[in-house]
Amino acid sequence: RAALGASLPLLQRDYRFERVWFWGYIQGVRGTYYIAEGLGPDRAAPRSRLYSLNCLDWSLLTPASEEMVAQAEQLKGRFQGDPSFVYNLAEINAGAAERLFEGGKEPVIKEEARLIATIEEIDRAVGIVPRGAFVKTPLGSVHENRHFEGLSLVEAKKLSSYFHFTEPVNLKNKTLLEKANLDPSIDFLDSLEHDIPQG
């Protein structure tokens, strides 16, 4: 905790981030990955993610691709705690390995790629913010709402008061009539009320 408290402000300074959030950690068999997110002026823009094994030396992670996420879904079990560890997909899923081999790619995945994909999947599933905590400006950038004081008790009990803090998918499919009741400055993300399973 002391190492994190000292290194995160240095990380913010060195990478010129406007803000740094400690995302969490993923425990492996031989080591633990500590993950931080660096943010720029637009809070909804793709965030820079970094990991460290000792809370002092940080390495920048590349953005997750759909192919990387699909490959990582084949892997089960604990992380090893070594970013250079290589998983052989041929031993895990012969069909997926065959498709990769035909495409001219090696049927292997590094643990660092698995880490990137896992963070992305967790963010898509449970990266959640309360309604009104962030506002979208007319120019399209997203900022923290300085006037947000939290949800009322009644609003806090509704799933519609929470949004996925990722690129909206369901919002684009809504009809004009459904969009008419939305406030474009705060209702610019997907609500949790239509998530499956319901409730």
Note the pLDDT tens digit of each residue in 157-187. Answer: 988 889 888 887 776 667 666 666 777 778 7
Rounded average pLDDT over 17-38: 93
Please tell me the pTM assigned to this model: 0.81
Q: Is the peptide bond before 83 cis (omega within 30 degrees of 0)?
A: no
CA dihedral 46, 59, 118, 26 (to 10 degrees): -130
Give tens-digit pLDDT for 81-137.
Answer: 999 999 887 666 666 556 655 655 667 889 999 999 999 999 888 888 999 888 888
pLDDT score recorded for residue 40: 87
The pLDDT, as a whole number, for residue 34 is 96
pLDDT of residue 30: 92
